[in-house]
Amino acid sequence: MSQARYVLSIDQGTTSTRCIVFDDKAQQISLARREFAQHYPDDGWVEHDPEDIWRDVVDTVREALGEAGLTDGTGVAAIGITNQRETVVLWERETGKPVYRAIVWQDRRTAALCAKLKQEGAEDLVRARTGLLLDPYFSATKLAWLLDNLPDVRERAERGELAFGTIDSFLLWRLTGGKVHATDATNASRTLLFDIHRQVWDEDLLKLFRIPAAVLPEVRDNSTVFGESDPALFGRAIPIAGMAGDQQAAVIGQACFAPGMAKSTYGTGCFMLLNTGEKPVSSDNRMLTTVAYRLGGRTVYAEEGAIFVAGAAIKWLRDGVGVITHASQTDDMATRVPDSHGVYMVPAFVGLGAPHWDPEARALICGLTFSATAAHLARAALESVAFQTLDLAEAMQRDGAGQLKTIRIDGGMSANDWFCQFLADMLQAEVERPACLETTSMGAAFLAGLAVGVWKDLDEVAATWKRGAVFEPRMDGEQRARMIAGWKDALKRTLPAK
């Protein structure tokens, strides 16, 4: 074991924090995981306690190192970090203490501000510089809310006393004992403050959102030594050498390095990214243009479709209405009934993302009759995720991407064979599931390992990717068309008339 070189990956997600140790063959050696509390203080508000996140990161790292027999950190070449994107933390530089809970990417409290800025004609500037749309999903309006609604916070920020970051930046600060305030190009590209073409914080956007430059982190490549962990944390100082937002980390983990390759991750939400190479593609169908990764100063872009609720719909069935007791039950329940019995779920619990971008939309279940059962609800929830993915694929196709032939999938829902088959049927595309589903964590590990020489280049990384299963479309065309028509009707009922 001592001959191998290990990379430790911190994967800080929306509902859980996990840490995985990989060896230099990209094999998983150990895994530790913790779920943490979600806070919903008002309608459409979603918050996390950054101290909960920090505690879980330290605990899971120590547990994973211990399970791998690396208690003192010896043999660990580097740490990689991947994180829930767009979630905002503002903390004191002197103490490292957050001034408020983290405002989560799902949070919709700034919908009115986004609508006001749209009415004032600001969205064209935002789209041209950032590739994004004016939506509460992104970081800038969340940060503006903190500056405008907490006593003395704006004044303290302008004096340089406070630091802003997405979760990656906050964890880097804490891990390095407050020595490094930085982020990476992928997380920066999700803030509405970063010019993805010039790769700099944009002065016009800072002025638009009234954000003082003094709070911003330095932006670096995804694979570089950001700093070292405080030796008191894990036994010795370990280089922190890779960082990326979770969806971009999954692009790396799925080895989608060639233009035209696509991946879709099914976690709390669903995020589909299509590699477009070194040229950013501007969408005419309300898809996002984003940084896929930046290595050695070279930026590769992606077109992205963001679905806010995927696995979260299954979690609601479990925790909200008690229809199931374990998420894994949905596979069995979906196969227990021959079809969804005309039941459709549009899971707009926190509004709808791409390609609709309606923060005011709310979830709907339609087609219920007295003969509908819990199994039909579970099946409708799973089907809704595939239907939403189809909406993204069709929007990308209208943007000129062409018919999707193959897509690589990952995330918790991809373990469900029934869902994977239904997805292949809806997309009319080959669905590839990798042998290791922890591709987000693996992507962070690859980025860290590349920076310190564990892996030589992207070709060597791509050679580690292994297909676990493949699902080919097999549904009858008439049945598929009928089901899609039902979905589009349900969408119309959810979206207000324009």
Annotated binding-site residue numbers for glycerol:
85-86, 137, 246-247
C-alpha span between 89 and 163 (Å, rounded): 8
The H-or-E segment that residue 116 falls in is: helix 111-119
Q: SS3 string of 223-246?
A: EEEEEECCHHHHCCCCEEEEEEEH
- Binding-site residues for ADP, in ranges, read 14, 18, 268, 311, 412, 416
- Binding-site residues, in ranges, read 14-16, 18, 85-86, 137, 246-247, 268, 311, 412, 416
Helix (H, G, I), strand (E, B), or coil: what is residue 80?
Answer: strand
Q: Are 65 and 8 in contact (CB under 8 A)?
A: yes
Phi, psi angles (nearest 5°) of residue 374: -60, -35
Cα Rg of the chain, angstroms:
22
Q: Are 316 and 356 in contact (CB under 8 A)?
A: no
Phi, psi angles (nearest 5°) of residue 149: -115, -5
- Binding-site residues for ATP, in ranges, read 14-16, 268, 311, 412
The residue ranges of DSSP E strands in 28-129, in sequence order, are 28-35, 47-48, 76-83, 88-92, 102-103
By CB neighbour count within 10 A (0-12 exposed, 13-18 middle, 19+ buried), where does 359 fall? buried
The residue ranges of DSSP E strands in 398-450, in sequence order, are 406-410, 430-434
- Binding-site residues for sn-glycerol 3-phosphate, in ranges, read 14, 85-86, 137, 246
What count of other Cβ atoms lies within 10 Å of the Cβ of residue 80? 31
> Nearest CA to 215 among 288, 140, 283?
140
The H-or-E segment that residue 225 falls in is: strand 223-228
Beta bridge partners of 39: 47
Residues near 492 by beta carbon (within 8 Å), at least 6 away in sequence: none
